[in-house]
Structure formats: structure tokens, C-alpha cells
Amino acid sequence: MSINPSHLTYPLVLAIDVGTSSTRALLYDATGNVVEEVEGRITYQMHLTADGGVEIDADELVALTCRAIDEALEQAGQLVDEICGVGISTFWHSLLGVGADGKPLTPLYNWSDTRSREDVRALAARIDVDASHLRTGVIPHSSYQPARLLWLKRTAPELFASVTHWMTFGEYFTFKLFGRRLASVSMASGTGLFNPNTCKWDAEMLALAGIEAAQLSQLADDDESFVGLKEEYSERWSALKELPWFPAIGDGACSNIGSGCVTEDRVALMVGTSGAMRVCFQASGVKIPRGLWCYRANRRYFVMGGALSNGGDVYAWGLKTLNLEAKDIEEQLSKMSPDGHGLTVLPFFSGERSTGWADSAKAVIAGMTLNSSPIEILRASLEAVAYRFAAIYQRLREELPASSQIIASGGGILNSPMWTQIMADCLGAPVAASAVEEASSRGAALLTLQALGHISELENLPAPCNEIYEPIPENQARYVTGFKRHQQFYELASKTLWHEGAAL
């Protein structure tokens, strides 16, 4: 492969992006433009268990990520000599137990693993949930480490006692490459064991979870990096062996930064398999709103918002289960009236995170008759996901400037112009389609460039966008009514159908 380097601005950065279904390695230039001819991509599937487990062998995922790096470096050719550093984006909220010999004792548990549901309720009963939320930025939920640690302690006490160190995947990956345990405050902030305002581990939550701070990784400064790969990897990637590798950053934070949403007036709306709505901004401290979470991008930037366990997977479920043909879905959806199906959907196929945080929530479709059609069920489900984003947006708006801009990213939504329009109508605000195809990897690259002094302020970078979807007034009015009905049904279901699992 021949690459024309004339359009690039040097130096280059290698960005590694480990997601829940694929791991990628890409090159970016000094202005944040992707080197389009270079991409290593390996897809994979996590193992699912009947009781709600979602896990993968950590060493297997390390090996897959290394293969993605191999592919990218091979495609880059002589451009590898222009690489100045390596940035990493990985999914938040994972957990791995490691023994004294540095080898995994547990699988890598994913954020969507819900086997700690019982321990969520037990933990919530032992603490002041509101006070804990104000300290840690999260509430008891199976996504976070406190309940998962309690689950392991309860169900596998000998295994729990044998673990010497607890890590996320990002920490384990760099530990394998460098032999050093170091965590960014970004990854730490997604654990539920950390105080995002003080940037320190939370002593009370550590005690409740039954672990000590010494079992967690050292917290890195923003400009702190790894240098000097282990022999196995330095021989494999000679061009990278003496370059700085920066600790992994949470993929949500990277996505905001990569799409240009790094001020309070830019809201990132991401719909992939799951979904999230986030703001990222500089502040000395924050008060964390009820129902939302608060993490860190680094020691300068907070990330605040809400997340949905269901996003693009609802669309995929509809196509598969309802036996719909993908090729003409957009046309069918465009012919339908907003909220014209008589259905009310709670789209909790994988439980609920924001805003009610009910692990045991299930999907509900109400109002069906013999005349209800598959396309109506799909349309109602897509509108329901938009309603859940509207619930998050209502809470975020109390913290945001009045003139906030919403920028959408992720294939789940950008591959469906109709769903993007539905989102704008339900939110009652314009939604701009991001022009950045790989926001998380780009965010990791930009943070690396900033740490190395090649970029000054992230706020000065543009937010590349394509089409802007303006809310249609008559549609918006119908969705106000639909959202009210949805919320009434949601509140009823929260109190009656899964009230034991609700933490708020």
C-alpha cells in the first residue's frame, strides 16, 4: 500500500481504541486528522452467561489488541518513523482480579455484566445513596465496581481473597506491556471507588467493597507516560519501544473530545450499541446532579451526563425479531406519523442505567392490538430511546448554558437519518451529525498530542459536523404528549415491576 504523506501534518500519533465488540489501531496527524489508509481492526464477542454475565479472557483481549497494532503498523510503512506517542481509549467500568504473579485470576468483567444485582440492593441499604453519589459521582449499580466486588466476595470468597490487585482492562493492557500498574484518573473515575472532585480513591467506598487502596493502581498525572516496552513487545514493535505510551482514558471522555464537545455548551449524543449523553468541560469542582453520573477525562476536565444500556441494539433487535428488511426501513419510517402508533415502549432490553438505574428493569411494549404492525413497534421503540435521552437532557439542561449545541456521533444513530430527526424532535433542539467517524480514537490522539505539547487548548479545536437536523414544530408538539405518557408509564413500572432493583 502506498500512502501519500503530503496532506499530513507531523508528528503522528498511534491511537488504540478498545471497544466492547472490536479493538482498533489508527494513526492521526498533529491536527487530529486520521490517516485514512491505516487501520488495524479486530472484531470479537464477549462471552454471555445465562445469569447475566458478560466477560472475556483478559489475555485474549490483549492479544487481539496487539494484532490490531500489528496491522496498523504494517499498513503505515515508513510513517511509523513519524509517530511521537501512543494514546489509548478503552471502555469504562471493567474489572479484573490479578494475582501476585501478575496473572489474571478472574475473567475481565464488562460494564454490562449484571450478576451483582442482589449486591446492588444490599449496598444501597447500607449507605446514604445521595451522599455517596455526591462524593463518587455514581450510585449503586451493577455497572460499577463496588457491587461487583461484593458479588465476588459473596459468591467466590477464596478467589476474592487471593486477588492482590484489581484493574480495569486499560491498566492491565499497559501492565502487560510495561510491567507497571498505573491508572489515569479517567479510568479511576468510572469505577465507583473514586471521588472526581478530589481526584482520590474514596476511602468509605473502598471499605464497603472490602478492598484497600494498595490493591488499586497508582494514579497518573496527565502528562505521565510509560516508556520502554518489555522485550517481547519492543522486538515486536521496534518503532514504538522508546515512545511515550499514555494510560488509557475512558472511551466516553475520548468520544466527547474527539467530536469536539469539550465545553459546557456542546453536548455529545452518542448512540452505538448502547447510548450516552455527555458534557465535558474544565472546572475546579462540580456539584453532581441527581440521576446523572460524573467522571473525569483527566485532571482538568470533568465529564458529566447519563448513559443508556440500550441504544443501537434496540434498532438491531427490531430488525431481527420483527423480521424487517433493513434496505427500506428508512422509507417506511418516514411515512409514519410521530407517536401515531398507539404504543408506549420502555426500551430496557438490557436493564436501565440513567436516569433510574434499575438493574432489573425489563423492556415493556404496551398498547398493542391485533392491528399493531412490526414497523410500528420499531418506530415506537426508537422514539422510546429518544424519550430516555430527553429525560437525561432535562437534567443536563439545568447545568448547561441556554444555547447548548447537541452533536450526535455513533453508527447507531448516524446510519439512520430518520432516527436522528426523531431525536431532534423529541429533544426539542437541533442535532448536528458529527463528521468524525472514530470519535473515541481521535479523542485519545488529541489528548496525547496535548500531553506532548503539540496542541494547546482542546477548546480551540473545531467540532466537524455534517447535516444539522432541526426539530419540526408539529412533530415536537406530538412528542411532548408522547413523552408525558411515556414518563407516566415509566414511573408506574419503576414502582411496581422492578421496584426492588431500583436504586433511586
Of 251, 270, 288, the residue at which a domain comes to its end is 251
Same domain, 157 and 191: yes
pLDDT higher than threshold 50 for residue 334: yes
Of 251, 283, 307, the residue at which a domain comes to its end is 251
Mean pLDDT of the chain: 93
Same domain, 206 and 128: yes
Same domain, 126 and 236: yes
373: domain CATH number is: 3.30.420.40
Which pLDDT band, with edges at 50, 70 and 90, does 3 fall under?
low
Same domain, 364 and 279: yes
3-state secondary structure 409-460: ECHHHHCCHHHHHHHHHHHCCCEEEECCCCHHHHHHHHHHHHHCCCCCCHHH
Distance from C-alpha of 219 to C-alpha of 247, rounded to nearest angstrom:
10
Same domain, 209 and 319: no
State mean pLDDT over 489-501: 77
Is 451 a domain residue? no
Same domain, 282 and 422: yes
Is 200 a domain residue? yes
Same domain, 215 and 305: no
State mean pLDDT over 16-43: 95
Number of domains observed in the structure of the chain:
2
State mean pLDDT over 356-373: 91
pLDDT higher than threshold 90 for residue 382: yes
Domain ranges, residue 420? 261-435+472-504
pLDDT at position 4: 58
3-state secondary structure 142-204: CCCHHHHHHHHHHHCHHHHHHCCEEECHHHHHHHHHHCCCEECHHHHHCCCCEECCCCEECHH
Residues 6+ apart with CB under 8 A from 215: 163, 164, 165, 166
In terms of C-beta density within 10 A (0-12 exposed, 13-18 middle, 19 or more buried), how is residue 456 classed?
exposed
Same domain, 278 and 242: no
Same domain, 161 and 50: yes
Is 1 a domain residue? no
Same domain, 167 and 265: no
Which pLDDT band, with edges at 50, 70 and 90, does 2 fall under?
very low
Which pLDDT band, with edges at 50, 70 and 90, does 494 fall under?
confident
Is 349 a domain residue? yes
Is 242 a domain residue? yes
At 120-174, the pLDDT tens digits run 999 999 999 999 999 999 999 999 999 999 999 999 999 999 999 999 999 999 9
State mean pLDDT over 318-325: 92
Which pLDDT band, with edges at 50, 70 and 90, does 359 fall under?
confident
Q: What is the percentage of the chain residues whose pLDDT exceeds 70? A: 97
pLDDT at position 259: 94
pLDDT at position 504: 35
pLDDT at position 6: 64
Distance from C-alpha of 222 to C-alpha of 207, rounded to nearest angstrom:
27
Same domain, 299 and 379: yes
Is 487 a domain residue? yes
pLDDT at position 327: 87
pLDDT at position 49: 94
pLDDT higher than threshold 70 for residue 460: yes
Which pLDDT band, with edges at 50, 70 and 90, does 500 fall under?
very low
Same domain, 31 and 66: yes
State mean pLDDT over 472-480: 97
Is 318 a domain residue? yes
Which pLDDT band, with edges at 50, 70 and 90, does 499 fall under?
low
Q: Which residue has the higher pLDDT, 456 or 97?
A: 97
Is 463 a domain residue? no
